C-alpha cells in the first residue's frame, strides 16, 4: 500500500480533458502522486488536438489510450475528479469527489483546446498544493 495520494480523472470518452489532467498531474507532481484516468464510454483514441496542445507545452501524451472506468479504479483512488460525466462515476464512502466544469474539447481544433489545457493546468496546480505539497515549506 502506497502512502502517496492517488487521483482518478474521469470524463465520458477519456480522450481529452481527463487525459490532459492526468498528463499535467504526472508532469507537475512527478512520482509524488499516483495518477489514473478513465472514461465511462471510452473513445477509440485520445483527441489529437489535445495531444498537440499538450505537446506545445512540452508534455507528451501521444502514447496514452482511453481506458474504461472501473469500480476498482475508483476504489483504488483517494480523489476522483469528474469532468462532465455526472452520475456515471460510482460513489464510495471515504473518497473525495470533485467535479471540474470544463468545456469538452471533442471535435475542437487545437486553438479551442489551448484555453481548456491552460485551465486544467491551474486546477491541477491547486490540487497538487492541496494533496501533495513539496517539503516542509509547502504550507508557507
User: What are the residue numbers of the active site?
Assistant: 11, 85, 89
Is residue 42 within 8 Å of 15, Cβ to Cβ? yes
Residue 101 burial (C-beta neighbours within 10 Å; 0-12, 13-18, 19+): exposed
Per DSSP bridges, beta strands 6-11 and 34-39 are parallel
Question: Rounded CA gap, 59 and 111, in Å?
Answer: 17
- Cα dihedral sign, 25-5-135-100: positive
- φ/ψ region of 130 (left if φ > 0, alpha if ψ in -120 to 50, else beta) reads alpha
Is residue 15 within 8 Å of 43, Cβ to Cβ? yes
Is residue 131 within 8 Å of 5, Cβ to Cβ? yes
Amino acid at each position: 500500500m502506497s502512502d502517496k495520494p492517488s487521483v482518478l480523472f474521469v470524463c465520458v470518452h477519456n480522450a481529452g480533458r481527463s487525459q490532459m489532467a492526468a498528463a499535467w498531474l504526472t508532469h507537475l507532481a512527478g512520482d509524488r502522486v499516483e495518477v489514473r484516468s478513465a472514461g465511462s464510454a471510452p473513445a477509440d483514441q485520445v483527441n489529437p488536438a489535445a495531444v498537440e496542445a499538450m505537446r506545445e507545452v512540452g508534455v507528451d501524451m501521444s502514447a496514452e489510450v482511453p481506458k474504461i472506468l472501473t469500480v476498482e479504479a475508483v476504489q483504488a483512488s483517494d480523489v476522483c475528479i469528474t469532468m462532465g460525466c455526472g452520475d456515471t462515476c460510482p460513489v464510495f464512502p471515504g473518497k473525495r469527489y470533485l467535479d471540474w466544469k470544463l468545456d469538452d474539447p471533442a471535435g475542437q481544433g487545437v486553438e479551442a483546446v489551448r484555453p481548456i489545457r491552460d485551465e486544467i493546468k491551474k486546477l491541477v496546480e491547486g490540487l497538487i498544493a492541496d494533496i501533495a505539497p513539496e517539503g516542509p515549506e509547502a504550507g508557507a
